[in-house]
Every structure is written in C-alpha cells, then in structure tokens.
C-alpha cells in the first residue's frame, strides 16, 4: 500500500487528522512504523564505518576546533606553501610589490598633514567594506592605520591566490582562513584605533564602555543558559511572529502541515504548498504581518499550505534524506489531495527545501505523478560545483570530521551551522556587531528577522551525511546519479513551468549557481534576480522601499543564454519580486471559486497555527 492509498483509507475512517501515525509531541496510541523502520533494506549510508575510538577522538577534537577539521586546514596550507616555495619568480614579484607599497605608504605618512593630500592615496576600501566608511576615518592617524591594514589584506590575497599548481579548493581555504585571521586585527575592532569609539567615549565620559561590559555580561548569560533567549523577547512565535491564522491539518513524525485561513471571499483553485528548509524554522516566510509572504499570498486569493519540520534530536540520528521527501513533500501532497481532490498544486521550495522539491519533482515526473502545476524555487541549488564559500567547509576531510562529530551526538548542533554561516560574512555578522555592542555600548534595534535567525535547528546525522556526500561532494543530482526508490532520477524529466529566484548577495546559494537550472530541466524557466541576500532578499514585502530585480523567461525549446548575457538582456524593475511572482502564479491558475474546507476528518485534536513542532 502506497502513501496515497493509506491516506485515502484513513480518510474514509475519519482518522488521518485526529490520529496521526506518530505524534512525538503529544504521543499517540496508534501503532505505526517510524521513519527509521521505513528505510529500505540495503539503503544504508555508503560511508564505511571507521574505527569507533578514532571517531570518538575526532568528536572530542571538534569541541576545540569549532567543528573545523585541522587536517583539512593543514593539507591546504601544505599544498599552498609547497608550491609557493617552488616559485622563486613569484616570490620576487610579491617582494617587489611589498617594497613599492611600503615606500608609497611611508610617503603618505610623511605628507599626511600637507594641504590637499589625497587621504586614500595608497589604497582605499572596497565599496562593500563599511568598516572605514565613517567621516572620522578620513583623518590621520586613523586613515593611515586603515590603509596599513588594507595593504596587509591585499598582500595576503596576492600571496595566497594565483600560485601555479595549487588546487583551487586549497587556494580558497588558505585565502579565506587567512582573511578571517586578518579581520580579527582590523583597527575598527579595537577601542584605541577606532575613532568612532574614542569620540563616543569622549562624549559619554566612558559610559559606552560600561554599557558595553553590561551587554557582554548579558550575552554571556544567554549563551550559558539552557533556554532559547535571544534578547528580542518581544518577538514570540505565535504571538508577534508566525501569526497568520491557520490550522495544523496533518501531522506525522517529521512534519506538521499548516493550512492557512483564507482572507478573501474567493480563492484560486490551485493551492500553494511551501516547502522550507529544515536548517531553518519555516516562519521565515511568515514573520511579522508587515513582511509575511504567507499573509501576502492569502491576501492575493491563494489557498496556502506550509510544512513545519520537527527539530530532530539524538534518537533521530538515522533519519535519511529521502525521509524528508516521503514523509515531507509527498505526505503533504497526499494530505492536500484529501482536502482538495484532483487539484494540482503550486509548489514552492526555499533553500534546501527547494533542492528537496526538485528531487521530488524529478521523481514524480519519472513515475508519471503530475500533481504539480508549477514549481517555484527560492535561492535553491541543484548543482553544487559553484556553491560559494560554503564549499570551503565541505571536502572529504572536513565531511569525515563532521560525520565523526555528529556520530557521537546523533545530530549536527545548531552552533556549527550558525557559525559556518556567520564566518561567510564575518565583517557584518561578527566583528561589526562586537564593535557596536561592546565598544560603542549600543544595541541594534531588535528585529523579527534576527530573532528568527537565532532560532536555530539541528540536523540528523544520517541525513546531513547523505546531503553533504551525495549533493556537495559527488554532485549526484546534477550529474544524473541521484537515486530515488532504487532508480536514478534526472532533472531533465521536469516539464513543469518553473519560477526561480536568486539573490544578488547570496553567500549560501550564489545566484550564479542557482541559474544553472536553465540547462538542467526541460521546462519554461522564469528566472528572477532580486536585490539583497539569502534571507533579506527573499523577505521583500511590497511596502518596503529599496527592492529591485531583473527578470526574463526562457521557453523550454529556446536557446540557452549564459549568465553574463542574461545580466545584459534581462529587464530591470523596481519593487518587490512578490508582486511579479503573484502575477506569474495568477496567469497559471484557474478562475476564482469558493475557499476549500479547513482540513479533513477530525482536526480538533491538532493545534492551531503555528503548531507544536515550531516550538521545539
């Protein structure tokens, strides 16, 4: 009996909503197979079991390295230093550059007080570097200290990159890790060399240091406490964020499916299913009412469903990546089919949820399952060869190290995932905040987005290992080796119209990588490149100023246009991509009709939105 048949049988008995297969929040008397028990025989992870004592040693070592493999780092530096040592001409050229820049720098020091002197005569910050953007950095000696630091950054970049013979991945690791160390030494990070901090101390009589100490103590107490306090306690799930009215209409051991109440008299016949990533809480798309995509969609006349993933613990160590497809996407589609029979679905996948949706769609297309009307992917990759700086944390040595760390706990802890993302933007997410909070003694105004960002999730051991190995390391999905139910799938089997969104400043899923969907699927692809980053670019309500985007559609039988050419050809527009997507969905939806019923069977035993799983 397949999932759909089981759903229909339970629906006929009036039990599916009121007696979920496994309720890990409230418990259930209904016997059912767990996720682990449903794993097909012979589908165990392909990674051979290493020696347990070695794994325990690596797990212990990971506590001191923050989850970074010291061997991976050492091998990268050995590769780079060995090739640089064997390149005497390159060494000579770099030495000449250092002598030349040093001479120019001391000349700037000697003439710093001269009238009309160009303040950034030696080197100036890049446009995206905001550390030295303030007017106080324009005067010596602070301007000179900033230039000295920027010269050091440039010297390191020139020395670490372009060395003939170094593997590109090792070169990237060396450059990135060295840059992180240099960023720690930026003059903006120290009170004595930061003119803005000194001015604040002079104006406040040193009160900023007292306030900064208090901020540090509060943050330390939050970090040591067992609770989930974020410092933004005014943003509470279900009260001030994730407040769109709705009902949990289906629950299993992995998901709660939320159906949102309609806010218009008539709705489009095709519902929308939101598949978020399980490395984040789903309510990134239902933040405050002013910036909730869910609220916007219901206001546009769509029936909206959203998956809320359960946060795994150690007993869920053997939950597989494919369980998220079967117990997640397919189970949600089966439940929607019980509420809206014979209706096709507009499916949306965000980040890793988009990758999962593409896998599910390819498998459905292969098997003749045509329940998807359209597919929307937000900042989601299907080819991982250009996955940005995140790939620096993913090589064979690093993945093995992470597996050993997860093997002991049964999951990847929230701190490792959050730490990796913060390192990708260390200037903005680490050092500038430390300076602002502890040296200036100020606090950034609380926001719903930052509260959501602090509400981290865990990742099961087996799922994360399969994800890293099959998708990142082997790139099986893009190269046609990814297997579902024992048979390979191909993205080229997808013929469903697609709306794909990339963001300009995405450090997690670079838009250049997201763009590759164009030559992977056999479908009409509307690609939209929006301003902002991985999260702020997606959460773009129409009322919020400053948003812009480019958009262009490629028909399935049209010739391929490369990324650089696309940037030249795609029309520019001001405003939110939400409105563009709503128009695209409306053009592919039926006429308005009466809203559907809320759930099926007896849903009284299940909670209202946002449900229970989001609270774990």
Give me the active site residues, please. Answer: 351
Residue 210 CA to residue 194 CA, distance in Å, equals 17
Angle, CA of 419, 313 and 465, to the nearest 5°: 60
* CB neighbour class for 496 (10 Å; exposed up to 12, middle 13-18, buried from 19): buried
Strand-pair partners of 349? 275, 377
Distances (CA, A) of 475 to 169, 382, 395, 446: 16, 9, 12, 39
DSSP β-ladder status, 572-574 and 255-260? unpaired
Element (H, E) at 553: strand 548-554
CA–CA dist 362, 385 (Å, integer): 20
Cα–Cα distance for residue pair 395/469, rounded to 1 Å: 9
Among 308, 297, 217, 298, smallest CA distance to 257 is for 308
Strand order of the β-sheet with 548-554 is: 246-251, 255-260, 304-309, 272-275, 345-350, 372-378, 498-505, 525-533, 548-554, 572-574
CB 470 within 8 A of CB 476: yes
Peptide bond between residue 141 and the one before it cis (omega within 30 degrees of 0) = yes
Query: Which of 255, 247, 246 has the alpha carbon at shortest distance from 3?
Result: 255
CA 419 to each of CA 272, 292, 437, 496: distance values in angstroms, whole numbers, following the listed order: 33, 26, 19, 37
Whether the Cβ atoms of residue 533 and residue 507 lie closer than 8 Å to each other: yes
Distance CA 579, CA 540 (A): 10
On whether the CB atoms of residues 391 and 169 are closer than 8 A, the answer is yes
């Amino acid at each position: 009996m397949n999932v759909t048949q089981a759903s229909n049988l339970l629906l006929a008995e009036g039990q599916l909503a009121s007696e979920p297969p496994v309720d890990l929040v409230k418990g259930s008397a209904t016997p059912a197979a767990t996720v682990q028990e449903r794993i097909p025989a012979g589908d165990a992870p392909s990674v051979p079991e290493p020696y347990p004592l070695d794994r325990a040693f690596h797990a212990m070592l990971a506590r001191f390295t923050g989850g970074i493999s010291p061997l991976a780092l050492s091998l990268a530096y050995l590769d780079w230093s060995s090739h640089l040592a064997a390149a005497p001409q390159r060494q000579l050229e770099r030495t000449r550059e250092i002598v030349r820049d040093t001479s120019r720098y001391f000349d700037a020091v000697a003439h710093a007080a001269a009238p009309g002197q160009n303040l950034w005569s030696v080197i100036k910050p890049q446009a995206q570097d905001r550390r030295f953007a303030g007017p106080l950095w324009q005067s010596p000696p602070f301007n000179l200290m900033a230039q000295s630091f920027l010269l050091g950054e440039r010297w390191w970049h020139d020395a670490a990159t372009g060395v003939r013979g170094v593997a590109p991945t090792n070169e990237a690791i060396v450059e990135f890790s060295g840059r992180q160390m240099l960023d720690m030494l930026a003059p903006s990070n120290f009170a004595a060399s930061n003119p803005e901090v000194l001015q604040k101390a002079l104006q406040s009589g040193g009160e900023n240091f007292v306030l900064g100490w208090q901020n540090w103590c509060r943050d330390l107490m939050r970090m040591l406490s067992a609770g989930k306090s974020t410092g933004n306690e005014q943003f509470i799930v279900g009260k001030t964020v994730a407040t769109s009215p709705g009902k949990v209409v289906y629950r299993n051991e992995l998901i709660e499916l939320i159906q949102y109440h309609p806010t218009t008299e008539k709705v489009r016949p095709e519902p929308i299913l939101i598949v978020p990533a399980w490395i984040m809480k789903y309510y990134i798309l239902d933040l405050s009412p002013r910036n909730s995509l869910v609220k916007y969609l219901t206001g546009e006349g769509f029936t909206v469903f959203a998956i809320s993933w359960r946060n795994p613990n150690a007993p869920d160590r053997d939950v597989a990546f494919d369980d998220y497809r079967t117990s997640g996407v397919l189970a949600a589609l089966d439940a929607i089919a019980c509420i809206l029979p014979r209706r096709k679905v507009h499916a949306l996948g965000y980040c890793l949820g988009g990758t999962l949706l593409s896998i599910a769609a390819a498998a459905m297309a292969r098997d003749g399952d045509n329940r998807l009307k359209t597919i929307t992917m937000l900042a989601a990759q299907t080819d991982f060869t250009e996955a940005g700086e995140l790939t620096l944390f993913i090589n064979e040595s690093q993945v093995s190290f992470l597996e050993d760390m997860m093997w002991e706990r049964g999951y990847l802890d929230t701190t490792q995932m959050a730490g990796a993302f913060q390192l990708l933007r260390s200037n903005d997410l680490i050092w500038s905040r430390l300076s602002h909070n502890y040296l200036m003694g100020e606090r950034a105004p609380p926001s719903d987005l930052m509260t959501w960002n602090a509400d981290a999730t865990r990742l099961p051991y087996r799922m994360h290992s399969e994800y890293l190995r099959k998708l990142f390391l082997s790139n099986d999905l893009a190269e046609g080796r990814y297997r579902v139910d024992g048979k390979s799938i191909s993205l080229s089997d997808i013929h469903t119209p697609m709306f794909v969104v990339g963001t300009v400043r995405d450090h997690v899923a670079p838009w250049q990588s997201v763009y590759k969907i164009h030559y992977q699927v056999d479908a009409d692809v509307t690609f939209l490149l929006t301003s902002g980053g991985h999260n702020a670019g997606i959460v773009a309500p129409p009322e919020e100023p400053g948003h812009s985007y480019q958009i262009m559609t490629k028909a399935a039988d049209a010739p391929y246009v490369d990324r650089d050419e696309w940037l030249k050809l795609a029309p520019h527009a001001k405003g939110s991509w939400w409105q563009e997507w709503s128009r695209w969905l409306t053009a592919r939806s039926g006429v308005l009709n009466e809203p559907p019923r809320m759930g099926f069977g007896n849903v009284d035993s299940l909670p209202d939105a946002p449900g229970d799983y989001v609270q774990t």
